[in-house]
Each structure stands twice: as structure tokens, then as C-alpha cells.
A and B are shown apart, each in its own frame.
Chain A
Amino acid sequence: MKTTVVGSYPKPKWLLRIVKMYKDGEVDEEFLEEAYRDSVKSVVKDHEIAGVDIIWDGEMRREEMTSYFAERIEGFEIYGEVRVWGNAYYPKPSIVGELRYRDELALKDFLYLKGITDREIKVPITGAYTIVDWSFNEYYKTKEDAVYSLAEVLNREFRELVKVGAKYIQIDEPAIPTHPDEIEIAKNAVEIMVKGVNAYVGIHMCYGNYRAIFPDVLDFKVDQIDFEFANRKFEDLKILKEYDYDKDLGFGCIDVHSRRIESVDEVKNAIRMALEIVDPDRLYVDPDCGMKLLPRDVAFEKLKVMVKAVEELKEELDI
């Protein structure tokens, strides 16, 4: 039973300031780079103090989970932002040509992180299905074709990551449960993405209706599936029970949409429910989703509570 995170963590306020200064031309790239590296160090320290077993760098460089990758892959172009709700916008990429590997996506981040921590590392990257679903398609005949092409690109990145020592890759696919009718495409895409990737692979999903993707999702070629549960009051656990869930479970048990800090006891109770479904060695305890939208002190407290709950339970269960 290990603790981990989904990926993002609140950015230090000073980093946001410096990113803005960089955009306004007030500081140069070297200045910004140093700020990124320092912010990763501080985030890693937060995770280490909280006691999280498997960590990532808090995604200090990623402002958003689609365009960050699209900007680094051949065949994408970003014309501008579109609304996702209310007055919130994201840069929605367009696929304008054949998708091809160009720049590394997380390789440098991984290597840097490896150099500053002894903790186990998980590398999260947005999956092919989600990136395509959240992009315009001007080039490929079908969405399916675009997804498979992008899956090949990501497969190369995953293999490069393994070459330099990555052992745990997480494919982020929040869009999958929002299109249950395309689950077959998503499944095939995962197979392409993990082909020849000699690492532990998890897939993270949030939003949408989980029931609609069961039991198909159990056939995905991954070691672990990570779901959000706290946000849905753990009701979805019964779906897993119904379908004899048999993969490792990433167990989102901290609500990232609420600033209320959970009590250790309620987290322990939640984990006990998860243990009715998988054995402790197949359970990865984490927050529901990335924590970037929380105030930093709240995120830190939540991580501490999560780790404490796991430690106490381990002691109680003698594992």
C-alpha cells in the first residue's frame, strides 16, 4: 500500500510572478529556467515532508494538459483559446498535419527530478485519446486515425523514458469516461501507447460516468487504473465490486475540489472500503486528481493527512 499523487501541485506564487515577468519580457529564459527548477525543488520537498512514496514534480512547467504537449508534437497548431465553461478558456490545439514525434515531452523533467530526490517517481502524460478529444481535427479522416497516430508518438516518448530509467508511467485520460461509445478506440490507443514499454503503467480517469465504461475498461492493457472516488462520495466503489475488479487500484480519496481538509479517520475508513476490493499491495492511495487548483498550504495539509491515514492503517493491519 503506497501513497502517490496524480500529478499537479499548486505553483508557488513567486513562480507565477516570474512566469508573467517572462511573458512581459522583463526577465530572460535563464531566469525563468532557474525559477522552474527551484519551484520543482520546493514542491518535491513538500511531498517528501508529507511522506508521499511515489512523487512527480508538481507539473510546474505545464499550464494546462492538452496544449503543453500539442506544442511539442509535430502536426499541431494552436490558433487561440476557446471557452470550456463560464469565463474559463483553454488553448485548444488543431491537428493540421501528420502527427509526429518532435521534442521530448517529459524526459528532461524526469531526469531533473531523478537528480534531486530518492523517492520513487511516476511520470504522468496526457493520453492520446484525451489530447485528440480536446483538439480540433483538420487533418485526419476520422478521430480514430488521429488518436492512433498520436498514440504512436506517445509510445516513442514512453520508450525513451524507460531507457533513461523511468519505471512508472501514468496515462492521463479524463476524456475517456465522457465518451463511453468510443471506449474501443481508447482501448486500442492504450495498446499502441504501451507497446514495448517496459514499465509499470497506470491510467488516470476523472469526470464522466464510470459505470458506462465498465466492464470494458478492465481489458485495458495497464497495470493500474486510478479513479477519483472522494468527489463522488466513494459510491463508485460498488461498480468495481460488481465487476470483480482485478487490476491494481489507484484510489483517489482526497477531494481536490474542496478546501476542507479531510480527517485522518475518514480517509482511513475510505481506504478500508478500497481494501475490500483489492489487497494492500495492489492499492495506491492518492488524491482524486491533480491538486493545482488548491491553495498550497491546503494541498500540503491534505497530503499529510493522506500519508498519516495510510501509516496508521498499515500499523493497525500489520502490513
Chain B
Amino acid sequence: MIVTTVVGSYPRPDWFREYLRKVAGLQKDLDVEIDIDVLRRAISEVIDEQKRAGIDIPTDGQLIWHDFLLTIASRLEGFEMNGLVRYFDNNLYYRIPIVKGKIRRVKRILHDFEVAFEIESKIKAVISFYTLTKLSRNEFYGSYEDMLWDLCDAIREEIRYLESIGVKYIQIDEPSILYAEKRELEFLRDLFKELTDVKSETILMTYFDSAERIFPEVLDFGFDTIGLDFVEGYEENLKIVEEFSFEGINVGIFDGRNTKMEDLNEIRERLERIISIGNFKRIYVSPNTGLEFLPRIKAYEKMRLVSSLKEVFE
């Protein structure tokens, strides 16, 4: 049985962009006061759109996330935001977070997710941990490990909170982990185990590259499901599936960064191959990345494609 989902981000509705422009300007910081009713309306629209397209487990679309790090960093104590830096191999830029003091969770991080959770409880929360430390600049901690532990504590508190309100799916996005060194992976195991020790289903999402470098270590991180990017690394990730055994997989198989609509037959063959050589109890299918890289009408078409794939399978 295949479950359709998305990775996280979704294009903002035009009117919501206009609204943000009015209240925040182009690049205003972080914790902009957003009218809760406006936010609810925008998130509703995006959740509806995902469901209409046939997505079984939608996200809140990360609509107030100016970039992938800002929302998390700016709601934690200890970070300040600096100039724009290129986000991986994308024509997309993020403000680099600078660690200036001890990292602490002083308020809820995913307050926008909570608004979404009130609208729809079958929804996935998305957060990040290790990647935030890799894409930030540390000007406070004497050791990188200390910074990781403090951030881990903060993110764990948030995850525990999400668990306590009954969130079923918690996804941790870690594109940077694909480039971690072997030594580091062993150390990370203890940290991730802290994060994944919850009743909710935990999903590790990787993208922009293949994941062969993090296996087998990642299998001990405690995740229920591991997301792999089969657009950027089909052959390599296929080998992973062949070589290692894990129960839950998120197959990122449609290109979330190209407006081209894939040939469904080709994708079906690929998916069949992946499923037949693995031994999975849970199979999620999604685009390989968040959909904010696409114009909104194409983001919708991509989701339709994801659900058509499911129909073909059934």
C-alpha cells in the first residue's frame, strides 16, 4: 500500500505573499506578527490544495518560512541572522544564522504548524536539526559538539511537545547529513536517538543527493522511515535498498525542481523496482524536494502526478 505525501514547502498563495510584503517587507526578520486568521486562511488553502490533488499526508506548506533555517533559528534563543547565502545547488538564498549565545528553546518553534494541526490532524510536522548547525556560523561555542547538544535539547523539547499534542508524523529534514563524515555519523547517532525516541512516527528526509555515504550508520538513528532522493541519486539509492534492510521508506521520485512532468510509466517501473528489491512495511511516495521551487500551478500538477502514480499501482 502506497501513501502519497510531500516533502514540506509549498508555493505561497499570491495574496498571502502580498500580505507578507505589507506586514514584513521583503526581508524583515523572523518573528513577524502575522494575523492568525490570515495565516489560518492561507494554510487552509494550501492543505485543501494538497488534499484535492490526492496527497494522503500533507504538510502546512511552511508558508511563513522565509527560508529553510530562518523559522527555526529565529525562534530559538542564541541565533542572529546575517546576509544571504546560496542554498545548496539552488537559485535560492537563505540568511545565514550566526550562533551568538547559548541555544535555548524559549517558545514553541513550529507555531505555524499548530495552526495547521487544528485544521487537519492527519498532517506531517517538518523540522530540522543537524543541517541547521552545518549551514550556520558558530561564533559562540568552543566546540561544535556542545552546540549540537544544545540544539538537540531544544529540538527534542519541540518534538516532545508535538508528540504531547498528538502529532502522528514528525519529519526531520537533513540534506546536509549526506555530506557528514563517518566519524561524525557515529557521534550523531546518540543525538538523533534523543530526537526519535517518541511515539510519533519519525521520518528522516534527505534530498539533493544520494545517501550511500550515511549507510549503514543511519539505520541506528531510530527513525521509523527514511526518505531518499531517487531523482538525484536513483542508481545509488537503489543499491542502498538492495543492500540494507529497513521498514519505512519515503521514495522521492518526482523532480520537485523541474516543471517538466515525468512520464508515469517510467516512474512506475522505477518504483516497482525499488519496492520489489526492498522489504518495506511503509512506503511513501513524494516529489524529491519541497515544492516551493516550482510555480504554484506546476506544484499542483506534480502532486497530481504523485497521486496518479498511486492510482496506477492500485
> A: which residues have CB within 8 A of B?
79-89, 92, 94, 133-134, 136-138, 175, 178
Contact = CB atoms under 8 A, between A and B. Distances in A.
Interface stretch (B85-93, B191-199, B206-214, B223-231): B85-93
Interface magnitude class on chain B: 20 to 34
Contacts, number: 64
Contacts of B295: 79-82, 92
A178 B86 contact: yes
Interface string B282-313: 00000000001111111000000000000000
Given A85-B27, A87-B26, A136 B258 contact: yes
A137 B258 contact: yes
Given A79-B259, A79-B295, A138-B259, A84 B92 contact: yes
Contacts of B11: 80, 82-83
Interface in B33-50: none
A271 B73 CA distance: 41
Nearest to A85: B93
Contact of B26 (A81, A82, A86, A137): A86
B111 to A, nearest CB: 18
Contacts of B160: none
B75 interface: no
Given A85-B92, A87-B27, 18 more contacts: A79-B259, A80-B11, A82-B292, A83-B12, A85-B66, A85-B95, A86-B67, A87-B17, A87-B24, A87-B25, A87-B26, A89-B17, A92-B91, A92-B295, A94-B260, A136-B260, A137-B258, A138-B258
Most chain A CB neighbours (cut-off 10 Å) among B24, B258, B259, B296:
B259
B275 interface: no
Contacts of A81: 295
B24 A85 contact: no
Interface of B: 11-12, 17, 20-21, 24-27, 66-67, 84, 86, 91-95, 257-260, 292-298
Most chain A CB neighbours (cut-off 10 Å) among B91, B258, B293, B294:
B91
A133 B89 CA distance: 11
Given A138-B259, A178-B86, A83 B298 contact: no
B94 A82 contact: no
A258 to B, nearest CB: 13
B121 to A, nearest CB: 28
Contacts of B26: 86-88
B74 to A, nearest CB: 12
A83 B292 contact: yes
Nearest to B294: A82
B27 A86 contact: yes
Most chain B CB neighbours (cut-off 10 Å) among A81, A85, A89, A136:
A85
A175 B27 CA distance: 22
A68 B21 CA distance: 23
Nearest to B20: A87
Contact of B93 (A84, A89, A134, A137): A84
Nearest to A257: B83
B91 A79 contact: no
Contacts of B298: 79-80
A137 B91 CA distance: 14
B32 to A, nearest CB: 10
A283 B263 CA distance: 53
Contacts of B294: 82
Most chain B CB neighbours (cut-off 10 Å) among A79, A86, A134, A136:
A86
Contacts of A84: 91-93
A256 to B, nearest CB: 15
A178 B84 CA distance: 14
Given A82-B292, A89-B17, A92-B295, A136 B259 contact: yes
Nearest to B91: A134
Nearest to A138: B260
Contacts of A134: 91
Most chain B CB neighbours (cut-off 10 Å) among A82, A88, A94:
A82
A180 to B, nearest CB: 12
19 contacts: A79-B295, A80-B11, A80-B296, A80-B297, A81-B295, A82-B293, A83-B292, A84-B93, A85-B66, A85-B92, A85-B95, A86-B26, A87-B12, A87-B66, A88-B27, A134-B91, A136-B257, A136-B258, A136-B260
